[in-house]
Amino acid sequence: MSALGDLGEDIFAPLGEALGRIAPEIEVAETARILSVGNGVAEVAGFTDLHADEVLHFPHGVVGIASSLRPGRIGVIVLGDTARLRPGDRLRRSGRVVDVPVGEALLGRVVDALGRPVDDLGRIDAAERSPVERPAPTIMQRAPVEVPLQTGIKAVDAAVPIARGQRELILGDRQTGKTAIAVDAILNQKDTGVLSVYCAIGQRASAVVRVVETLRKAGALGRTIVVVAGGDDAPGLQFVAPYAATSMAEHFMAKGRDVLIVYDDITRHARAYRELSLLLRRPPGREAYPGDIFYIHSRLLERATHLRDKHGGGSLTALPVVETQAQNISAYIPTNLISITDGQIYLSPALFEKGQLPAVDVGSSVSRVGGKAQLPAFRAVAGSLRLMYAQFEELESFARFGTQLDEETRRKLTRGRRVRDMLKQKEHAHLPVPEQVAVLLAATEGVLDALAAEEVAAAEETLCRAVRAELPALCAAIAAGEPLAQEARGALIATMRAALEGRGDGDA
C-alpha cells in the first residue's frame, strides 16, 4: 500500500511543480466606453486621466487620438474606419502620444500617415520612432538661410530663388502645374545629396501613383519617402499626415542632412481639419474653419529651418502647395499661408492657357530670401530680371492700344518677348546653373533678338551645347560659386553669338 502511495506521489509531483510555476497574468489598463461614433470621430467617457494627443486603442485594431478633453466626454479623432465601432464598445489608453517610425529604412518606401507600408514591399524595420508633434527649433538654434536649393526650373531659380531651410508656397488654380513644379524640385536633387519627402494629402490614388512612378523612373524614389493620406482615407489620417512626414524629415535634419519636403496640398489638409472640428462640435469661424486653423499650419511650417552647426547643421526646406479658386489668392487659407511662408510661387491660369509653361507669374511671385539664395554669377545675371520683365509687361499692355512705337520701344518689346520665350521649359527638363546663367544672359543681352519665337527652344539647346563644350572651366567656376567677372561675361556672350551664327550657317 505504501509502495502504491509512493508511486502516486511520483506521478503527480511534476504536475504539482508545473502548476506552481504558472501564475495568472493580470493586465492593468484604464478603459472607457464609446458614447457615440461617427465618420472620423468618437465621443468616449470613463477615463479619469488622459493626455492631449494620447493614442487610444479601439476594438478591431483601430486607433484614435485624444483631441477634445472635456469633463465627462472626450472627443477622439479616429485614425481608421469607424464602420465596425459601436456605442458601448470598450477602448483603452496606451500611455503614449502618436509617433511614427523614422530613419534610413523609410527611404524608397510609400507609407501611410502612421508609417505603415502601403507599397507591398514588406514591413519596415525602423530602429527609432518619433512623435508626430514636436516643437519647432528656437531662434537661437536657427542659422541664416543662404545656401541655394536649385530646382532646375529657370523661371523659379532666376525670379523666385529658394534656399535650403526656406518655406516657399506654391499656389494656383487646379490643373496649373503646382505638383509638377514640386516634383521637378525633388528630381533636381539627384546629385546634391538632398533627401526628399513627398506628402500627399487628400489626393486621388491615381495621382499619387503617377508621382511615385515619375520618381521611380527618374531614379529618385530611393532617396525619397512618400507619405500618403488619400482622399478615401479617414479625415484623421489626412490631418496627421503632414506632421508625420515632417517628423520623418526632421530625423535626417537633426543628423546634419538637407531635406526637401512637399505638402500636396495644404488646402485639403485645412478642409480635413475643418470637418473634424465641426464633428467635434468646436465653434466655427470664418468659412466654418475653426479659430485655430492658422495655428495648425504655423506650427507645422515653423519646423522648417536651417540649423546651426552645433545643433546638427541640417536643413528642412518646405514647399507647401495650396489650391486657389478663380485666381483668388486673397482667400482665407491662401492668405494665412502667405503670411506664414517666406514667399510664394504663383501659377497663373491665363499663362497656362497661352502655353507659357511653367505658368509662373513672375509679377505675383516673390522670394523673401531673394538674391541670398542664388550663386554670385546667377545673381549678377538675374538680379535685374524681375524689374526688366515687369517693365516689359507694362509696355506690352500699353502697346496693345495700337500706339505708334519708336525704335527703342520696339527693341525693348522684342527683348522682353525673347526673355519670356526663354523662361519656357518642358516638364522634367532640368538645367544646371551654368546653363541657366548662359541662356538668361543671352536673352537679356539681346543675343536672341533676331530670332523668331518658334526658334528660341532650338537656339537654347545650341547655346547649352556650346557652353558645355567650349567653356567647361567657366561652367565649373560658376557652379563652385565664383562671381562672373567682366571678361568671363564677355567670353560667354561671344561664344553664344558664335554658336548661333554657326547654327545659322549650318542651316543655310
Amino acid occupying residue 414: T
212 and 326 within one domain: yes
- pLDDT tens readout for residues 225-266: 999 999 899 999 999 999 999 999 999 999 999 999 999 989
The answer to the question of residue 65 being in a domain is no
Q: CA–CA separation, 442 vs 425, rounded Å?
A: 16
What CATH number should be reported for the domain holding residue 450?
1.20.150.20
- Reduce the DSSP state of residue 508 to 3 states and report it: coil
The answer to the question of residue 266 being in a domain is yes
Please check whether residue 202 is in contact with residue 231, taking contact to mean a CB–CB distance below 8 angstroms. yes
The answer to the question of residue 245 being in a domain is no
Q: What is the pLDDT of residue 504?
A: 56
Query: What is the rounded average pLDDT for all residues in the chain?
Result: 89
Does the pLDDT at position 15 exceed 90? no
Crossing angle of helices 235-254 and 266-279, in 10° steps, is 130
Among 374, 390, 418, residue at a domain's last position? 374
Q: CA–CA separation, 165 vs 244, rounded Å?
A: 18
**What percent of the chain clears pLDDT 70, i.e. is strictly above it?**
93
Among 325, 354, 374, residue at a domain's last position? 374
Burial class (CB in 10 A: 0-12, 13-18, 19+), 436: buried
Q: What is the pLDDT of residue 42?
A: 94
Of 112 and 25, which is predicted with more confidence? 112
Of 21 and 249, which is predicted with more confidence? 249
Give catalytic residue positions: 368
Strand order in the sheet with 110-111: 110-111, 224-229, 195-201, 258-264, 315-323, 169-172, 343-347, 366-367
Among 53-62, 401-410, 416-425, the minimum mean pLDDT is found in: 401-410
Does the pLDDT at position 211 exceed 80? yes
The answer to the question of residue 66 being in a domain is no
415 and 350 within one domain: no
- pLDDT tens readout for residues 457-479: 899 999 999 999 999 999 999 99
Cα Rg, the chain, nearest whole Å? 29
Query: Considering its fold, how many domains does the chain have in total?
Result: 2
The answer to the question of residue 52 being in a domain is no
Q: Residue 139 corresponds to which cell in the numbers above?
A: 531662434
386 and 357 within one domain: no
- Of the pLDDT bands very low, low, confident and very high (cuts 50, 70, 90), residue 398 is confident
Please check whether residue 260 is in contact with residue 194, taking contact to mean a CB–CB distance below 8 angstroms. yes
303 and 192 within one domain: yes
Average pLDDT over residues 39-50: 90
What CATH number should be reported for the domain holding residue 113?
3.40.50.300
354 and 280 within one domain: yes
The answer to the question of residue 136 being in a domain is no
Among 39-53, 138-152, 231-245, 395-409, the minimum mean pLDDT is found in: 395-409
Quote the domain boundaries for residue 333: 106-122+141-238+258-309+316-374
407 and 392 within one domain: yes
- Reduce the DSSP state of residue 76 to 3 states and report it: strand
Of 400 and 156, which is predicted with more confidence? 156
335 and 233 within one domain: yes
344 and 442 within one domain: no
Q: CA–CA separation, 190 vs 181, rounded Å?
A: 15
- Of the pLDDT bands very low, low, confident and very high (cuts 50, 70, 90), residue 387 is confident
Q: Residue 105 corresponds to which cell in the numbers above?
A: 529604412
- The 8 Å CB, 24+ separation contacts for 215-222 are 215/183, 215/186, 215/187, 218/187, 218/190, 218/428, 219/190, 220/186, 220/187, 220/189, 220/190, 220/196, 221/108, 222/107, 222/108
Q: What is the pLDDT of residue 1?
A: 46
What letter would DSSP give residue 64?
A: E
Q: What is the pLDDT of residue 4?
A: 47
Q: What is the pLDDT of residue 508?
A: 39
- Residue 328's Cα: distance from chain center in Å? 22
Q: What is the pLDDT of residue 360?
A: 94
Average pLDDT over residues 11-16: 64
Q: What is the pLDDT of residue 12?
A: 61
Does the pLDDT at position 3 exceed 60? no
Of 385 and 41, which is predicted with more confidence? 41
The dihedral of CA 156, 160, 162, 165: what is its sign? negative
User: Which of 216, 252, 318 shows the shortest CA–CA distance to 103?
Assistant: 252
- pLDDT tens readout for residues 126-158: 889 999 999 999 999 999 999 999 999 999 999
Does the pLDDT at position 20 exceed 80? no
457 and 346 within one domain: no
321 and 188 within one domain: yes
The answer to the question of residue 420 being in a domain is yes
324 and 205 within one domain: yes
Preceding amide of 358 cis, omega within 30: yes
- Of the pLDDT bands very low, low, confident and very high (cuts 50, 70, 90), residue 405 is confident
- Of the pLDDT bands very low, low, confident and very high (cuts 50, 70, 90), residue 22 is low
Residue with cell 485655430: 292
Q: What is the pLDDT of residue 402?
A: 63
pTM: 0.90
Among 374, 391, 416, residue at a domain's last position? 374
- pLDDT tens readout for residues 194-203: 999 999 999 9
Q: What is the pLDDT of residue 6?
A: 54
- pLDDT tens readout for residues 364-373: 899 988 778 8
Q: Residue 429 corresponds to which cell in the numbers above?
A: 527638363
419 and 323 within one domain: no
- Reduce the DSSP state of residue 448 to 3 states and report it: coil
Please check whether residue 125 is in contact with residue 329, taking contact to mean a CB–CB distance below 8 angstroms. no
The answer to the question of residue 159 being in a domain is yes
